[in-house]
């Protein structure tokens, strides 16, 4: 019996669940009261229970720990949380959100609106004129490091605390702030210009006096707006009229849902029938619209015209809407605005960009706090050794300022310059051309990623469908045998024309009374299958005229092949229709009531569309009933997924096996079937169908029941296989990322079957792995049972839909995330843009690991901005994702090199650079401590201001900064052995352990340098400054050489230049080399520097400080080499 554990059901108390509880509160009211589910334990296997790494032990314990908050918690950072909470509460009170309500919108009468609705302006700026300076300063000084520098710099205005010159403190701080402000200002101006461009776009607005031009930002709820072809829709509208005769138009939604195929929208019938545009003002009509919501795939509303008897009522659904940020693809449309600005679907689904801070910066921030603690302790020790005499408090502060070099301000300068250098290297890498670094503050994040969340369409796939296979049960046709099908089609339609006219019945067409037992010839079966594929779809041919305008298709038009394109809401359907065109049966025209096919001989066959049953994610199939004009035959065609069609078609022994074979090849399968209907059968069906459509209660169920009465014993015609081509090198890239220990989640708005298919073909899920498809759940009880079923599975990939995910996260958030994180791969389908961002945030909060999101469409922006590191691909879906991302690439395969090579180098180099700069500050502070303790604990600086500035800049800056060119592993090695990346995620290059080693090195070297100088130079005591400083510079240059793993010619140049600068300053700036304020006017002379005694003593001190470290490094390399050195040797 498996162990059981108590559930921790997640109530709607946390902030992150507010989104879920908004729209569906009423639906779950009853289920919340079913408290008996609390007592039902989720099953847990013994292995998982005993596993130390299971979040089950750690997470509930964390919850308990949170409750035990005392004074210690408050001092260690609780104060910050309390302050933030207070500020958030005040801000919430100040800008309390207006409750969103349903609305009644009168056509062309904005003044009749009962409420004031938001302006239709786009605003992506972070700051305004007044908040820019305070905002940027807050972002800088919320870090301990910068706040510390500010306090130290301000303390120098107090005469009693003044040590050295003001410029040594204010110069570097001003430089850091100036660079940051300029960078932020440039970004802000760019955002402002982009917003202004969008808000200034002009649209036609219908008024009683005619058409006027209006800016996008001035559009109001109730306005009648005209949108031309290829123009962006400025606000959420209800579609009233179109210039297309069919009363419908196509829109492109790639910036909203990420899908590149066009969507068909239908105008409100009542307004489309009006004779002229101006008549929109002569009628009295209004639209009732539901309150603004996140869901882009649904809409409920009504259209009412009052000025006629009886009043006309039309129900409105998603097909009557035109959402903002979509683009009109055909004709000109007129719509009435129902939602503007912040209430539009696209804005509701967009999250605001947050200021991203790298993990390395947070770790360095923690280390600087530890250093500050050490600094205060050291100052207290000094004052205590003085005996707390005199104004000891002032002395304490002076010591604190004196030791302020323990935390060097050059740390920020060096790291910021390093980040800029890494960004430049990434953009200059010829192996990943076109890569752009848009956020220069987090390149190290690329080396610390654990979760990669990727979009499907356009990211992993090219979204280009190609017809690959037709299977008829006994015979299968592939790409190389399509010419056989073409000859069969030409032959069968040739017989039609040879019989004199296309009206006579042909041997290949099956007459309804024919006995089903007779086996048909292959030719006739191919003919039936191709005809079914050419008729059973939702595709519309669009003709581009030479002037570039889309013409509406007329029956007598010349259907020339070169300017015809096909449009549909699914690229699979377009691929099927293109294929029938290639084998000789061409779809040339279609409107809402009929379609026309052209035979190989050039004859036109007309079919009247009697009924259409569109594809839904529940039914997983689509059907159409057509009447052939020439013969009067009525046929019901249907195609759909094999799981849905298997029970509908007549018994056969091959369908299941062949579907499995095609799926293993990565093909998307569709089963095609037909049924011939007599006139009586159809009339009976139509009556029942229309009756069901008018019912008020359970309309959907009744309609489905009527349709299902037709879906019995259908004749199986064929099985089709279509391939969605993957992006170049997706499989090896995903395999490399998996080997690097990165867990990959695919989040897509596409159908479950399609997502599963791509997961297999891209090897996101390996061939040996099982897939667990999470059943659709709507209640807490169902979610509970399904999670239990999922827990019993081991090492299998999870496939879950957005709706089920929402229910699981509402009740069992912790349990679901814990289970999903153990899966080798997770696929979430039918995800809204907000849900994608929600999943990213959940992973960050529950695992505390670094996440990366990659996508290419406007629907991926929220996810990209929520992740610790966002990568955008410039693709067919526009540049919206790449502009919002931190890094922009041109192809998915480039992500391998970006993470394995640049991520690794950026992290390793920044870790080495940060620790070395700290070491540089610690060593001089140790020397200061030794110096002060010898001189009766006087708070006097050892080195003058200029020497201190020179030490951090011209003497050591170039060699230390040259560490940004260092690399431990060659790029080819890093790509060949992605397993090396796993070490980086553990954060071992910069930890308290490595930091402590550097502290010990600094204390040892500082002590040796100072004591050595005092021991060897007793007779020439006034020369201690020159000797110790010279030895210090030599030691630093040697330490840089010791730290470097791969030499670059610029590193050698930097060492030589720094040495040259120092020797020159010894000669020319010798007045600075007296002993601080104790100097009795004894200056350094060249004669003393050139004595052999000076040279050998400096040499001895330097060797004693450095040689042991070189020996230790050699022994460590020999007996405990790091993993990468084994490869390089």
What sections of 774-903 are H helices per DSSP?
780-791, 802-821, 833-847, 861-866, 880-884, 894-897
Q: Nearest-CA neighbor of 801 among 837, 826, 838, 834?
A: 826
Q: How many degrees, rounded to 5, is the angle at CA 877 between CA 873 and CA 879?
A: 55
DSSP element (H, E) containing 735: helix 730-739
Task: Please report the DSSP string for 422-480 in residue order.
Answer: HHHHHHH-TTSTT-EES-TT-GGGGGSEEEEEE-STTTTEEEEEEEEEEE-SS-EE-GG
User: Please, is 631 exposed, middle or buried when counting C-beta atoms within 10 Å of its C-beta (0-12, 13-18, 19+)?
Assistant: middle
Residue 774: how many other CB atoms lie within 10 Å: 22
Alpha carbon distance 642, 1058 (integer Å) = 73
Q: Give the neighbor-by-neighbor strand order of the sheet with 449-454.
A: 436-437, 887-889, 869-873, 850-855, 449-454, 743-747, 825-829, 796-801, 770-773
In the beta sheet, which residues pair with residue 263? 251
DSSP annotation of 926 reads H
730: Cα within 13 Å, side-chain hemisphere: 23
- C-alpha distances in Å from residue 51, one per residue of 57, 732, 824, 825, 950: 9, 32, 17, 20, 55
The C-alpha atoms of residue 925 and residue 1005 are separated, in whole angstroms, by 11
CB within 8 A of 152, min separation 6: which ones? 169, 401, 404
Residue tagged 């809407």 (tokens): 321
Q: Catalytic one among 361, 455, 591, 642?
A: 455
C-beta of residue 929 within 8 angstroms of C-beta of residue 403: yes
Reported as type and span, the H/E element at residue 386 is helix 359-386
Is the four-CA dihedral 490, 492, 493, 499 of positive or negative sign? positive
- Spell out the residues 6+ positions from residue 305 whose beta carbon is closer than 8 angstroms to its own: 270, 283, 284, 285, 311, 312
User: What span, in angstroms and rounded, lies between the C-alpha atoms of 395 and 629?
Assistant: 104
Buried-state track 681-696, b at ≥16 Cβ within 10 A, e below 16: ebeebeebbeebeeee
For the chain, what is the radius of gyration of the CA atoms?
A: 37
**Element holding 590 (H helix, E strand):** strand 586-590
922 token code pair: 């610690």
Q: ω before 310 within 30° of 0 (cis)?
A: yes
Instruction: Give residues with Cβ within 8 angstroms of 209, minimum separation 6.
Output: none
Cα 173–Cα 175–Cα 180 angle in degrees, nearest 5: 100
Using DSSP, state whether 94 is helix, strand or coil.
helix
Q: Does 653 qualify as catalytic in the annotation?
A: no
Task: Determine the straight-line distance between the first and last CA of the chain, rounded to whole angstroms.
Answer: 52
DSSP code, position 184: H
CB of 10 closer than 8 Å to CB of 810: yes
Rounded distance between C-alpha atoms, residue 645 and residue 247, angstroms: 33
| Active site amino acids | 455
């Amino acid at each position: 019996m498996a162990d059981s554990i108590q559930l921790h059901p997640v109530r709607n108390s946390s902030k992150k669940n507010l989104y879920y509880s908004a729209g569906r509160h009423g639906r779950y009211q009853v289920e919340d009261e079913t408290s008996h589910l609390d007592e039902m334990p989720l099953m847990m296997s013994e292995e998982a229970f005993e596993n130390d790494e299971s979040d089950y032990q750690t997470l509930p314990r964390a919850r308990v720990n949170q409750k035990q908050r005392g004074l210690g918690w408050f001092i260690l950072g609780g104060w910050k949380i309390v302050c933030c909470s207070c500020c958030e509460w005040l801000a919430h009170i100040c800008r309390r959100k207006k409750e969103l309500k349903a609305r009644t919108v009168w056509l062309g009468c904005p003044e009749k609106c009962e409420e004031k609705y938001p302006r239709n302006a786009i605003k992506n700026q972070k700051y305004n004129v007044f908040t820019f300076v305070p905002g940027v300063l807050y972002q800088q000084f919320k870090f301990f490091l910068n706040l510390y520098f500010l306090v130290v710099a301000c303390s120098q205005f107090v005469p009693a605390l003044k040590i050295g010159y003001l410029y040594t403190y204010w110069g570097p701080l001003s430089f850091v702030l100036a660079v940051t402000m300029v960078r932020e200002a440039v970004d802000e101006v760019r955002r402002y210009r982009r917003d202004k461009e969008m808000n200034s776009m002009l649209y036609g607005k219908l008024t009683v006096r005619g058409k006027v031009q209006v800016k996008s930002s001035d559009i109001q709820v109730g306005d009648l707006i005209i949108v031309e072809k290829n123009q962006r829709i400025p606000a959420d509208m209800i579609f009233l009229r179109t210039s297309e005769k069919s009363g419908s138009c196509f829109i492109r939604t790639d910036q909203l849902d990420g899908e590149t195929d066009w969507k068909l929208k239908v105008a409100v019938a009542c307004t489309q029938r009006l004779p002229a545009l101006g008549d929109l003002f002569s009628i009295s009509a209004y639209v009732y619209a539901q309150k603004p919501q996140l869901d882009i795939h649904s809409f409920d509303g009504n259209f009412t015209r009052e000025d006629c008897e009886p009043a006309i009522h039309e129900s409105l659904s998603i097909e009557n809407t035109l959402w903002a940020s979509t683009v009109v693809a055909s004709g000109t449309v007129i719509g009435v605005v129902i939602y503007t600005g912040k209430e539009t679907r696209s804005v509701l689904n967009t999250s605001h960009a947050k200021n991203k801070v790298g993990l390395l910066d947070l770790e360095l921030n923690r280390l600087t706090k530890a250093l500050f603690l050490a600094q205060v302790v050291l100052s207290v020790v000094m004052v205590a050794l003085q005996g707390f005499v005199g104004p000891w408090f002032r002395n304490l502060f002076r010591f604190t300022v004196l030791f302020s070099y323990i935390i060097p301000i050059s740390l920020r300068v060096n790291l910021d310059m390093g980040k800029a250098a890494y960004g430049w290297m990434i953009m200059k890498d010829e192996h990943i051309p076109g890569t752009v670094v848009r956020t220069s503050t987090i390149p190290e994040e690329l080396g610390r990623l654990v979760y990669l969340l990727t979009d499907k369409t356009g990211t992993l796939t090219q979204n280009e469908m190609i017809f690959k296979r037709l299977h008829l049960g006994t015979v299968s046709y592939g790409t190389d045998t399509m010419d056989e099908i073409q000859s069969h089609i030409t032959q069968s339609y040739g017989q039609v024309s040879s019989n004199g006219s296309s009206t006579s019945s042909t041997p290949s067409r099956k007459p309804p009374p024919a006995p089903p037992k007779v086996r048909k010839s292959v030719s006739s079966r191919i003919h039936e299958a191709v005809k079914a594929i050419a008729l059973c779809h939702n595709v519309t041919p669009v003709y581009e005229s030479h002037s570039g305008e889309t013409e509406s298709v007329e029956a007598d038009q010349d259907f020339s092949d070169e300017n015809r394109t096909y449009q549909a809401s699914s690229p699979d359907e377009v691929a099927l229709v293109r294929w029938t065109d290639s084998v000789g049966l061409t779809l040339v025209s279609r409107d809402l009531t009929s379609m026309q096919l052209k035979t190989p001989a050039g004859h036109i066959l007309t079919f009247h569309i009697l009924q259409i049953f569109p594809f839904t994610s529940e039914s997983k199939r689509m059907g159409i009933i057509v009447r052939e004009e020439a013969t009067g035959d009525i046929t019901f065609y249907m195609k759909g997924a094999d799981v849905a069609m298997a029970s509908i078609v007549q018994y056969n022994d091959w369908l299941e096996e062949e579907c499995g074979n095609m799926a293993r090849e990565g093909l998307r399968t569709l089963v095609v079937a037909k049924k011939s209907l007599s006139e009586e059968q159809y009339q009976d069906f139509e009556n029942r169908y229309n009756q069901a459509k008018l019912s008020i209660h359970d309309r959907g169920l009744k309609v489905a029941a009527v349709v299902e009465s037709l879906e019995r014993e259908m004749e199986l015609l064929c099985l089709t296989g279509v391939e969605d081509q993957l992006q170049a090198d997706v499989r090896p890239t995903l395999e490399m990322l998996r080997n690097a220990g990165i867990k990959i989640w695919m989040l897509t708005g596409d159908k479950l079957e399609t997502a599963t298919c791509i997961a297999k073909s891209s090897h996101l899920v390996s061939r040996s792995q099982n897939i667990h498809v999470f059943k659709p759940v709507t209640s807490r009880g169902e979610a509970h049972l399904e999670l239990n079923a999922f827990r019993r599975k081991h090492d299998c990939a999870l496939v879950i839909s957005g709706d089920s995910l929402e229910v699981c996260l509402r009740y069992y958030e912790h349990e679901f995330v814990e289970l999903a994180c153990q899966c080798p791969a997770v696929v979430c389908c039918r995800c809204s843009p907000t849900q994608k961002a929600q999943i990213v945030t959940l992973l960050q909060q529950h695992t505390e690991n670094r996440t990366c999101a990659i996508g290419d469409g406007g629907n991926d922006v929220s996810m990209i901005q929520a992740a610790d590191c966002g990568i955008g691909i410039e693709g067919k879906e526009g540049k919206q994702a790449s502009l919002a991302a931190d890094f922009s690439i041109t192809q998915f395969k480039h992500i391998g090199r970006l993470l394995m090579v640049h991520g690794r180098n950026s992290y390793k180099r920044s870790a080495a650079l940060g620790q070395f700069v700290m070491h540089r500050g610690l060593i001089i502070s140790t020397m200061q401590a030794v110096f002060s303790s010898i001189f009766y604990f006087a708070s006097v600086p050892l080195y003058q201001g200029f020497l201190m500035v020179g030490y951090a800049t011209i003497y050591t800056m170039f060699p230390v900064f040259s560490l940004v060119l260092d690399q431990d592993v060659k790029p080819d090695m890093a790509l060949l052995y992605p397993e090396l990346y796993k070490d980086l995620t553990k954060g071992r290059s910069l930890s308290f352990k490595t930091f402590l080693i550097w502290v010990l090195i600094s204390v040892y070297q500082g002590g040796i340098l100072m004591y050595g100088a005092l021991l060897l130079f007793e007779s020439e005591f006034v020369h201690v400054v020159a000797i110790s400083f010279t030895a210090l510079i030599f030691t630093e240059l040697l330490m840089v050489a010791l730290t470097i793993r791969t030499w670059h010619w610029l590193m050698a140049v930097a060492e030589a230049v720094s040495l040259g600068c120092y020797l020159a300053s010894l000669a020319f700036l010798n007045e600075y080399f007296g002993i601080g304020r104790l100097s009795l006017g004894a200056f350094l002379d060249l004669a003393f520097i050139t004595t052999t005694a000076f040279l050998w003593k400096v040499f001895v001190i330097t060797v004693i400080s450095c040689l042991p470290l070189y020996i230790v490094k050699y022994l460590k390399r020999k007996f405990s080499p790091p993993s990468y050195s084994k490869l390089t040797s």
